[in-house]
Amino acid sequence: MKVVKPDYNSDKSKKQQVEEMFDNVAARYDFLNRFLSLRIDTIWRKKAIAHLKTLKPSLVLDVATGTADLALEINKQLHPSKIVGLDLSEQMLAVGRVKVENAKLSGKITLVKGDSENLTFDDNYFDAVTVSFGVRNFENLDKGLSEINRVLRAGGKLVVLEFSNPKSFPFKQIFGFYFQFILPTISRLVNKNSGNAYKYLPESVKYFPEGQEFAKHLQNCGFSNIIVQPLTFGTCTIYVAQK
Ligand SMILES: C[S@@+](CC[C@H](N)C(=O)[O-])C[C@H]1O[C@@H](n2cnc3c(N)ncnc32)[C@H](O)[C@@H]1O
């Protein structure tokens, strides 16, 4: 698996670079997300969380929570007793904390700085774990997935939402053009500090394992009963896996 980093000329690890990159885009992240995805991301998030409805989880961990969009949607749809959102980027979390406070949910949603590859929670602690648009950014994918498996209780579920590459004409071509040219240009115009963020995005999606290949990583890290659900012509995929 090719290691895709925001900046190949830097000596810093992928993890450090990813943290800095998201610290830099945090203030504009929500706006760009909604604008560049034409709000389709909100539909994808709802669909992903719907997979956890029958489980009725009480304790949920949202890994790579960013600005807490998924954590807030989890609260709306699943009404768990507690949600922990974890992220490397303090600036993304700061934006998320304001949203959580505005929604008067500070008692229920806690946002903490942390690394998915070194989780500080006990074994078998959470009923469910979610990751939206995060796994692609892990420095060591299998270490992150194994850590998630460790903190999940037996029978608990992991839901992953991640970009994928459409395979059929004309979606493959439209998606390629949009991701390679339109998205980096608009994001540079809107956010002069975005740096390599939107150049990194298409490359990281292109080389990331998807479909059955990603399912194999889940299996190797201890998960079973894996569901692979492509969305919007394969632009994005939901993965559901059980411990
Ligand atoms: C594209 S954002 C997604 C944020 C949010 N989940 C969403 O759906 O909008 C990716 C996030 O993953 C975080 N991230 C990347 N690697 C991580 C790691 N090893 N541990 C925790 N967070 C990580 C980044 O800091 C960033 O906030």
Q: CATH number of the domain at 35, please.
A: 3.40.50.150
CA–centroid distance, 189 to ligand 1, in Å, is 23
Q: Is residue 5 part of a domain?
A: no
Q: Is residue 1 part of a domain?
A: no
Closest residue to atom 15 of ligand 1, CA basis:
137
Does residue 18 have its Cβ closer than 6 Å to ligand 1? yes
One pLDDT digit (tens) per residue for the chain, 243 residues: 777 888 887 889 999 999 999 999 899 889 888 877 778 999 999 999 999 999 999 999 999 999 999 999 999 999 999 999 999 999 999 999 999 999 999 999 999 999 999 999 999 999 999 999 999 999 999 999 999 999 999 999 999 999 999 888 888 888 878 777 777 777 677 666 555 666 788 888 889 999 999 999 999 999 999 999 999 999 999 999 999
Q: Is the pTM of this model over 0.85?
A: yes
Q: Is residue 113 part of a domain?
A: yes
Does residue 69 have its Cβ closer than 6 Å to ligand 1? yes
Q: Is residue 8 part of a domain?
A: no
**Cis bond leading into 166, ω under 30°?**
no
Q: Which of 12, 14, 17, 22 to mutate to test ligand 1, by most ligand atoms within 8 A of the CB atom?
A: 22
- Ligand 1 atom closest to the Cα of residue 161 is 8
Q: Is residue 238 part of a domain?
A: yes
Does residue 73 have its Cβ closer than 6 Å to ligand 1? no
Q: Is residue 135 part of a domain?
A: yes
Q: Is residue 4 part of a domain?
A: no
Q: In total, how many domains does the chain have? A: 1
- Ligand 1 atom closest to the Cα of residue 29 is 9
Does residue 66 have its Cβ closer than 6 Å to ligand 1? yes
Q: Is residue 147 part of a domain?
A: yes
> Containing domain of residue 178, as a range?
14-242
